[in-house]
Amino acid sequence: MTETEIALRFLARANPPPILFRYRWPIDWTLDEISKQQIYAAKPDELNDPFEYTAPVFWNVDLMRRLFIEEYGPMHGISPAEAAKEFDSSYEWGMAHLLDGIMQMREQSGIICLSAIPNSIRMWSYYA
Protein backbone atom coordinates (compact mmCIF):
# COMPACT_ATOMS: atom_id res chain seq x y z
CA MET A 1 0.00 0.00 0.00
CA THR A 2 1.41 3.39 -0.98
CA GLU A 3 1.61 6.45 1.27
CA THR A 4 -1.09 8.10 -0.84
CA GLU A 5 -3.46 5.15 -0.34
CA ILE A 6 -2.79 5.19 3.40
CA ALA A 7 -3.45 8.94 3.55
CA LEU A 8 -6.70 8.59 1.59
CA ARG A 9 -7.93 5.82 3.89
CA PHE A 10 -7.08 7.94 6.92
CA LEU A 11 -8.92 10.94 5.48
CA ALA A 12 -11.98 8.83 4.70
CA ARG A 13 -12.16 7.74 8.34
CA ALA A 14 -11.50 11.27 9.65
CA ASN A 15 -14.67 12.58 7.97
CA PRO A 16 -13.24 15.99 6.99
CA PRO A 17 -15.49 18.88 5.94
CA PRO A 18 -16.04 19.22 2.18
CA ILE A 19 -13.83 22.34 1.98
CA LEU A 20 -10.75 23.21 4.01
CA PHE A 21 -9.17 26.65 3.98
CA ARG A 22 -5.54 27.55 4.43
CA TYR A 23 -4.63 30.89 5.91
CA ARG A 24 -1.80 32.29 3.78
CA TRP A 25 -1.00 35.70 2.36
CA PRO A 26 -1.28 35.89 -1.45
CA ILE A 27 2.44 36.25 -2.12
CA ASP A 28 4.53 34.71 -4.87
CA TRP A 29 5.28 31.36 -3.25
CA THR A 30 1.67 30.92 -2.12
CA LEU A 31 0.45 31.52 -5.67
CA ASP A 32 3.18 29.18 -6.89
CA GLU A 33 1.80 26.45 -4.59
CA ILE A 34 -1.63 26.87 -6.15
CA SER A 35 -0.39 26.82 -9.74
CA LYS A 36 1.77 23.72 -9.12
CA GLN A 37 -0.89 22.05 -6.94
CA GLN A 38 1.60 21.60 -4.13
CA ILE A 39 1.43 22.45 -0.45
CA TYR A 40 4.38 23.83 1.47
CA ALA A 41 4.67 22.26 4.90
CA ALA A 42 6.74 24.27 7.38
CA LYS A 43 9.47 22.53 9.35
CA PRO A 44 8.99 22.58 13.14
CA ASP A 45 11.94 24.96 13.56
CA GLU A 46 10.27 27.45 11.19
CA LEU A 47 7.20 27.91 13.41
CA ASN A 48 6.76 31.20 15.22
CA ASP A 49 5.78 29.56 18.52
CA PRO A 50 8.77 27.83 20.15
CA PHE A 51 6.45 25.48 22.07
CA GLU A 52 4.70 24.06 19.01
CA TYR A 53 5.79 20.58 18.00
CA THR A 54 7.55 20.01 21.28
CA ALA A 55 6.61 17.62 23.99
CA PRO A 56 8.52 16.46 27.01
CA VAL A 57 9.73 12.89 26.78
CA PHE A 58 9.91 10.97 30.03
CA TRP A 59 11.48 7.54 30.24
CA ASN A 60 10.39 5.23 33.04
CA VAL A 61 13.71 3.42 33.22
CA ASP A 62 12.61 1.07 36.00
CA LEU A 63 9.58 -0.08 34.00
CA MET A 64 11.64 -0.42 30.81
CA ARG A 65 14.24 -2.49 32.68
CA ARG A 66 11.59 -4.73 34.26
CA LEU A 67 9.82 -5.32 30.92
CA PHE A 68 13.14 -6.00 29.23
CA ILE A 69 14.03 -8.61 31.85
CA GLU A 70 10.56 -10.20 32.02
CA GLU A 71 9.73 -10.19 28.29
CA TYR A 72 12.93 -9.92 26.29
CA GLY A 73 14.82 -12.51 28.34
CA PRO A 74 12.29 -15.35 28.05
CA MET A 75 11.61 -14.49 24.40
CA HIS A 76 15.30 -14.99 23.59
CA GLY A 77 16.02 -17.79 26.05
CA ILE A 78 18.26 -15.86 28.41
CA SER A 79 18.09 -15.75 32.18
CA PRO A 80 16.77 -12.73 34.07
CA ALA A 81 20.31 -12.00 35.31
CA GLU A 82 21.70 -12.02 31.75
CA ALA A 83 18.81 -9.84 30.54
CA ALA A 84 19.46 -7.37 33.37
CA LYS A 85 23.15 -7.27 32.50
CA GLU A 86 22.36 -6.71 28.80
CA PHE A 87 19.91 -3.91 29.62
CA ASP A 88 22.37 -2.19 31.96
CA SER A 89 25.18 -2.39 29.40
CA SER A 90 23.09 -1.08 26.47
CA TYR A 91 20.75 1.38 28.20
CA GLU A 92 22.66 4.57 27.41
CA TRP A 93 23.22 3.55 23.78
CA GLY A 94 19.54 2.58 23.43
CA MET A 95 18.26 5.86 24.86
CA ALA A 96 20.60 7.87 22.62
CA HIS A 97 19.33 5.84 19.65
CA LEU A 98 15.68 6.53 20.57
CA LEU A 99 16.33 10.26 20.94
CA ASP A 100 18.13 10.31 17.58
CA GLY A 101 15.05 8.66 16.05
CA ILE A 102 12.74 11.26 17.57
CA MET A 103 14.95 14.09 16.28
CA GLN A 104 15.10 12.51 12.82
CA MET A 105 11.30 12.25 12.76
CA ARG A 106 11.08 15.93 13.77
CA GLU A 107 13.47 16.94 10.97
CA GLN A 108 11.45 14.98 8.41
CA SER A 109 8.06 16.38 9.53
CA GLY A 110 6.13 19.23 7.99
CA ILE A 111 3.18 21.13 9.37
CA ILE A 112 0.26 22.88 7.68
CA CYS A 113 -2.78 24.57 9.18
CA LEU A 114 -6.20 24.05 7.64
CA SER A 115 -9.59 25.23 8.85
CA ALA A 116 -13.22 24.62 7.98
CA ILE A 117 -13.89 28.28 8.86
CA PRO A 118 -12.93 30.71 6.06
CA ASN A 119 -13.24 33.98 7.97
CA SER A 120 -11.80 33.54 11.45
CA ILE A 121 -9.88 36.65 12.50
CA ARG A 122 -8.04 34.62 15.12
CA MET A 123 -6.89 32.05 12.55
CA TRP A 124 -5.77 34.81 10.20
CA SER A 125 -3.78 36.49 12.97
CA TYR A 126 -2.10 33.23 14.03
CA TYR A 127 -1.37 31.57 10.70
CA ALA A 128 -1.34 34.07 7.86
pTM of the predicted model as reported, rounded to 2 decimal places: 0.56
Mean pLDDT of the chain: 85
Q: Structural domain boundaries of the chain?
A: 1-40+112-128, 51-111
Q: What is the DSSP letter of 18?
A: S
Q: What percent of the chain has pLDDT over 90?
A: 25
- 127 has pLDDT over 70: no
- Cα–Cα distance between 4 and 10 in angstroms, integer? 10
Q: Which residues contact residue 70 at a Cβ distance below 8 angstroms, ignoring those fewer than 6 apart?
A: 80
| pLDDT tens track for 64-93 | 999 999 998 899 999 999 999 999 999 899
Rg (CA), the chain: 22
**DSSP track, 32-85:** HHHHHT----B-GGG-S-TTTT-------HHHHHHHIIIIIHHHTT--HHHHHH
Residue with more model confidence, 71 or 31? 71
